[in-house]
Every structure is written in C-alpha cells, then in structure tokens.
C-alpha cells in the first residue's frame, strides 16, 4: 500500500491543452477536516487506508496542498439541460486534479468537487455544501456495492467556510474517482462550436484511452458509439431494476463510459411509484423514474448528432435502434433474478408488469418486497406479503401464478433459493431519510452516522447484526423530503 506522496501521475487529458480545459488552482476551505473516507475507493489508488487519518489528507483534498505532478484543470463542455441546449457549461465548481495510475495499470481521474470558482462558474461561487457532498459520497459507494456502474467517492472534507444557498451552510469538498470524466456534452461542445479539429482530437483521445479495442474495427467511431449505447442500456436497466432515480439526466451529466455520473437530487424508491419525481425542481417530470428509459435514448440521440462528422446518419440510427431491446433484455434478466427465477418464460414480462401495478396501487415498499419474497418458501412469502396490498384478491391471484411459475422451475432446495435471491435483493439501500439523518448529525459536527451508514451500505446484501433499523420502512416524513439541484 502507498502513502499519499507515492502516487504516480499521468495527466493524459491535461495534455490535450487549453482548448479542452483551463488551468485553475483549487481555492482552499477553512479548517479542513475528514468527514468520511472510503477504504475501498482508496484501494483503487493503492492507498493505505490509514492515510485518511493524517493531517495532510484533509489538506490535499481541502485545497490547501497539491502534488507537484498534479495539473488541476477545469474541463469545458456543453449539453442539453432539461431538453434545451446550453452552449457552454464546463466544470463550474470541480477540478480534474490529475490522473493517477495504480499497480494494476488502471488510470483514475482525481476530480475535486467544490474546489472554487473557475471560468465556467457563471454566477456560481464554485463551492459545494456539506449535505450535497455527503449525498454524493454515499450514493457513489452505495451504487457500487449494488453492482451498478458509477463514479467512486474517495472522501468528503468538511470546513468552516460559510456558503449561502437557501440559508447559510458550510462548504465541503468531495474527491471523485473515475476512469474518465468525459461526458456526452464534451462532444456536443466541439460539434456545435464548429471546431472539427478539436472534436477529432477529443474522439481520438477517447478511443485510445477508453475504447482501444474499437480501433481494430473497420469503423472505430461507430464501434465506440455502439458500445456507449450498450453500456447505457445496461446502466439504466440496473437503475430501473433497483429503483434508482438520477434526477438530472442532462447530457452533460451522462458519461461516455456508461456509468452513473454527477449526483444531485437522486433518490431510491421507497414505495413503488413509476411516476416518482425525485428532483423538486423538475416541474414537468422530465426525469421521473419511468422517464429515465426514454430519456436515456434521447440523450444517446443527442450524442449521435454530435458524432455525425464521423459516422453516417444511417449507421447511427441503426445503432440507436439497439438501445431499447438491449435495455429490455438486461432489465428482464435482472428482474427474473430478483423474483428468484433461473429460467426464462414468455409470460415473465406480463407477470412482472402485473406485480408492479399491484405495488403501485398499494404503495408497497419496493426494496423490502423483493427481499422478503426470498426469505421463505414462495407459499410462505406470498402469505406473509399479502397484507401489504390493498387489492388482496388481486395479489392472491398474482401469488398463485408466481408460485406456479416457481414450481415449474423445480427448485427443491429452499436454502439455495434464498441465498440466490438475497444475493441480488439488497436489505439496505440509501433511503433519503437515512441520508438526511446522517447529514443532520454531520452539520452538527458528528460524523459518526455518516461513517456508520457508509459501512452498512457497503455490504447491502448481507444481514448485519445490530443494524436492523437501517432496513426498516421509512417514516412518513422520510418519504416526502424535497431534494433539489441546489447544492
């Protein structure tokens, strides 16, 4: 394991030059202190977890110190925000400190969020507040534990620096890790500003760094786009299967690697509601839970438009046509496993849709239903779960079809079935009210709840003694928390 001063930098994106990013130094926050760190994320850099407790750790990720090999850059990009094109966005409060490669040969971007003003801050102060930094940290690591592709979060550093949002809060910084921070909006920026040379340079960089196998294909850009489509179809299938709502699926928040990116007003479903809107600022429901699937396709279409200098329109359309079938295949496969099926039948889609409609009508807790479905034999589980439904007759009819479906599989070993189902149905998820309780404590100077919640969420599938309260249904107040883009 390495110490902080032993990291090896190779700043490949910075070498693209000033057309792609601007050199900016972080603005330090006052009295930097560790709120929480992820040992698993630190391991990606071969860092010794004990380094998190050293004073220099908080100073480095609080903007006070910088490695000699680091090259902090604010990236420029554009994007479609709530369906409307914004010609220039860019890192308004984040800096790509540099790229570190580990002993396995992997490159990881070190991206410091809340690092102060940049040329792309517009009217903003370039800061992030403690609550949003904690939420991003917890979400990144929780999604990873659920096997959902995502950026990672190394740490949150708190401070005494005041910032104003709806009220006075305190600034914080979160250190985000990703193999790349290139977004759909990067390609859009150079396309719409008519800079073909820079767009080609960006494309060649992305191909060489992140899709080198595509260079062996007759049409490398088309092969890359196809993989981006495939990755996003699988990503959004996992979001839908696990009830994750992103909240702000603008094209500048979409990663070319097909990973969950830029956490804002996200939420996991409590009671199942296909029309749930997690972003208080989303008046039209553009980014509602059920809309995430078509919006994923819309965003890929926006990327396709930006790639027309390299790929024929016909080939782009054909590749975009893969998205929905791929999504449906991944989603149905995941949901079959969540229901405990090991084989596929033609009526599985209908059986699932009937269940979700019953859950919708009765406000059934989405995560706990699937977990409890695997606790006992199908007959016992259905008998126990029926009381959660208003339409008991309807659920009984569904339960009969479900039991018959399980029986046809011929699974005799209930213990094996339980183990298999619990391996895909989490007991612990990042509910908004749990995050809010941790944030409330942290804002009072107590970081123990953030750290405890992070530890619980890092192992979501296995029951943890003494942590029963983290697996309970939320109180009524916890279902109605308003989360907006303001951070």
Q: What is the value of pTM for the model shown?
A: 0.97
List alpha helices for 162-219, DSSP H. Answer: 184-192, 196-210
Q: Is residue 318 part of a domain?
A: no
More confident residue, 455 or 87: 455
Q: Is residue 83 part of a domain?
A: yes
Which of residues 184, 207, 222 is at a domain's end? 184
Q: Provide the 10 A C-beta neighbour count for residue 399.
A: 21
Residue with structure tokens 């990720």?
Answer: 61
Rounded Cα–Cα distance for residues 90 and 119 (Å) = 8
Q: What is the mean pLDDT of residues 180-203?
A: 98
Q: Is residue 394 part of a domain?
A: yes
pLDDT band at 480 (very low <50, low <70, confident <90, very high): confident
Residue range of the domain that includes 348: 339-422
Q: Is 252 a catalytic residue?
A: yes
Q: Within 13 A of 123's CA, how many CA atoms are on the CB side? A: 2
Which of residues 400, 422, 444 is at a domain's end? 422
pLDDT higher than 80, residue 484: no
For 31-86, give the secondary structure using H, E and C: CCEEEEECHHHHHCCCECHHHHHCHHHHHHCCCCCCCCCCCCEEECCCEEECCEEE
pLDDT band at 476 (very low <50, low <70, confident <90, very high): confident
Q: Is residue 189 part of a domain?
A: no
Handedness of CA 400, 406, 411, 415 (dihedral sign): negative
Q: Is residue 128 part of a domain?
A: yes
Q: Is residue 79 part of a domain?
A: yes
Sort 446 into a burial class: Cβ within 10 Å, 0-12 / 13-18 / 19+.
exposed
Q: Are 206 and 215 in contact (CB under 8 A)?
A: no
Number of domains in the chain: 2
Q: What is the mean pLDDT of residues 238-245?
A: 98
Identified catalytic residue from 252, 270, 273, 365: 252
DSSP 179: S
> How many residues does the structure list for the chain?
487
Q: Is residue 382 part of a domain?
A: yes
Please state the φ and ψ torsions of residue 183, each to the nearest 5 degrees: -115, 170
| Residues contacting residue 221 through CB under 8 Å, at least 6 positions apart | 203, 207, 214, 307, 310, 311
pLDDT band at 341 (very low <50, low <70, confident <90, very high): very high
Rounded Cα–Cα distance for residues 108 and 179 (Å) = 5
Q: What is the pLDDT of residue 477?
A: 81
Which of residues 422, 452, 479 is at a domain's end? 422
Q: Is residue 112 part of a domain?
A: yes
Q: Note the pLDDT tens digit of each residue in 82-120.
A: 999 999 799 999 999 999 999 999 999 999 999 999 999
Q: Give, in order, the Cα–Cα distances in Å from 483 to each of 78, 195, 282, 478.
A: 24, 38, 10, 12
Radius of gyration in angstroms for the set of CA atoms belonging to the chain, rounded to a whole number: 23
Q: What is the pLDDT of residue 280?
A: 87
């Amino acid at each position: 394991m390495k110490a902080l001063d032993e990291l090896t930098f190779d700043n490949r994106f910075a070498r693209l030059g000033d057309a792609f990013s601007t050199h900016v130094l972080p603005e330090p926050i006052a009295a930097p202190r560790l709120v929480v760190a992820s040992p698993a994320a630190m391991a990606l850099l071969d860092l010794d977890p004990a380094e998190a407790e050293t004073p220099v750790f908080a100073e480095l990720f609080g903007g006070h110190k910088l490695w000699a090999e680091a090259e902090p850059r604010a990236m420029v990009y554009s994007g479609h925000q709530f369906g409307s094109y914004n010609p220039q966005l860019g890192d308004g409060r984040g800096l790509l400190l540099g790229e570190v490669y580990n002993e396995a040969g992997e490159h990881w971007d070190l991206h410091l969020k809340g690092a102060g003003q940049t040329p792309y801050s517009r009217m903003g102060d370039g800061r992030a507040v403690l609550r949003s930094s904690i939420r991003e940290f917890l979400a990144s690591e929780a999604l990873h534990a659920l096997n959902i592709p995502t950026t990672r979060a190394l740490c949150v550093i708190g401070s005494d620096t005041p910032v104003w949002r709806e009220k006075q809060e305190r600034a914080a910084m979160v250190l985000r890790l990703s193999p790349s921070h290139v977004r759909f909006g990067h390609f859009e920026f150079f396309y719409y500003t008519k800079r073909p040379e820079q767009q080609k340079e960006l494309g060649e960089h992305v191909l060489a760094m992140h899709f080198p196998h595509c260079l062996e294909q007759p049409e490398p850009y088309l092969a890359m786009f196809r993989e981006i489509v495939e990755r996003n179809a699988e990503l959004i299938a996992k979001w839908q299967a696990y009830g994750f709502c992103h909240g702000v699926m603008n094209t500048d928040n979409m990663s070319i690697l097909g990973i969950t990116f830029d956490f804002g007003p996200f939420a996991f479903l409590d009671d199942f509601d296909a029309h749930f809107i997690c972003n208080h600022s989303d008046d039209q429901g553009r980014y509602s839970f059920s809309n995430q699937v078509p919006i994923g396709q819309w965003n890929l279409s926006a990327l396709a438009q930006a790639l027309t200098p390299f790929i024929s329109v016909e080939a782009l359309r054909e590749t975009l046509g893969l998205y929905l079938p791929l999504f449906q295949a991944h989603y149905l496969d995941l949901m079959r496993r969540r229901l405990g099926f090991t084989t596929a039948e033609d009526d599985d889609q209908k059986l699932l849709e009937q269940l979700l409609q019953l859950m919708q009508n009765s406000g059934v807790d989405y995560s706990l239903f699937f977990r409890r479905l695997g606790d006992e034999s199908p007959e016992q589980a259905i008998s126990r779960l029926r009381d959660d439904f208003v339409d008991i007759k309807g659920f009984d009819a569904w339960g009969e079809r479900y039991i018959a479906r399980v029986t046809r599989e011929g699974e005799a070993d209930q213990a094996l079935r339980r183990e298999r189902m619990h391996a895909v149905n989490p007991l612990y998820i990042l509910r908004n009210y749990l995050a809010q309780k941790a944030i409330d404590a942290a804002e009072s100077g107590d970081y123990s709840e953030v750290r405890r919640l992070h530890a619980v969420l890092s192992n979501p599938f296995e029951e943890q003694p003494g942590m029963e309260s983290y697996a309970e249904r939320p109180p009524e107040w916890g279902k109605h928390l308003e989360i907006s883009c303001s951070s």
